[in-house]
Amino acid sequence: MTERNIRILGVPLDLGQRRRGVDMGPSALRAARLQSLLRGLGHKVEDAGDLPVVIPETQAEGDGRARFLNEIADVCGAVARRVATFREAGETPLVIGGDHSIAVGTVAGVSHEMRSRDEKLGVLWFDAHADMNTPETTPSGNVHGMALASLVGRGDAKLTSLLGARPIVDGPHVALIGARDLDETEKPNVRDSGIHVFTMRDIDQLGISTVVERAIKVISRGTAGLHVSLDMDFVDPAEAPGVGTPVPGGATYREAHLAMELVADSGLMRSLEIVEVNPILDSENRTGRLAVELAMSVFGQRIL
Q: How far apart are CA 259 and CA 293, in angstroms?
A: 12
Catalytic, out of 23, 43, 50, 100: 100
Active-site hit among 71, 186, 231, 282: 231
For the chain, give the number of residues: 304
Listed in sequence order, the residues at least 6 apart from 248 whose beta carbon sits closer than 8 Å to its beta carbon are 236, 237
Q: Is 119 a catalytic residue?
A: no
> Of the listed 14, 233, 236, 261, which one is catalytic?
233
Residue of 113, 131, 156, 282 marked catalytic: 131
Residue 159 in contact with residue 71, Cβ under 8 Å? Answer: no
Single out the catalytic residue among 170, 255, 276, 282. Answer: 276
Q: How far out from the chain centre does Cα 89 lie?
A: 22
Do 250 and 234 touch, CB atoms closer than 8 A? yes
Selected catalytic residue, list 50, 127, 170, 236: 127
Of the candidates 23, 50, 71, 144, the residue annotated as catalytic is 144
What does the DSSP 8-state code read for residue 224? S
Q: Give yes or no: 100 in active site.
A: yes
CB 299 within 8 A of CB 43: yes
Residue 107's alpha-carbon distances to 40, 41, 74, 102, 283, in angstroms, are 27, 25, 15, 9, 31
Q: At what angle do helices 208-219 and 253-266 cross, to 10 degrees?
A: 30
Question: Is 173 annotated as catalytic?
Answer: no
Segment 26-31 long-range contacts (CB within 8 Å, at least 24 positions apart): 26/50, 26/96, 26/97, 26/98, 27/279, 28/242, 28/277, 28/279, 28/282, 28/285, 28/287, 28/288, 28/291, 29/96, 29/274, 29/277, 29/288, 29/291, 29/292, 29/295, 31/285, 31/288
Question: Is residue 164 left, alpha or beta, with left meaning phi > 0 and alpha meaning psi from -120 to 50?
Answer: left
Look up 47 and say whether it is catalytic. Answer: no
Active site residue 170: no
- Within the chain, strands assigned E span 5-11, 44-50, 92-97, 122-126, 174-179, 196-199, 226-231, 269-275
Identify the active-site residue in 43, 91, 113, 129: 129
Active-site residue flag, 14: no
Q: Is 257 a catalytic residue?
A: no
Instruction: Please say if 129 is a catalytic residue.
Output: yes
Any idea which residues carry the catalytic annotation?
100, 127, 129, 131, 144, 231, 233, 276
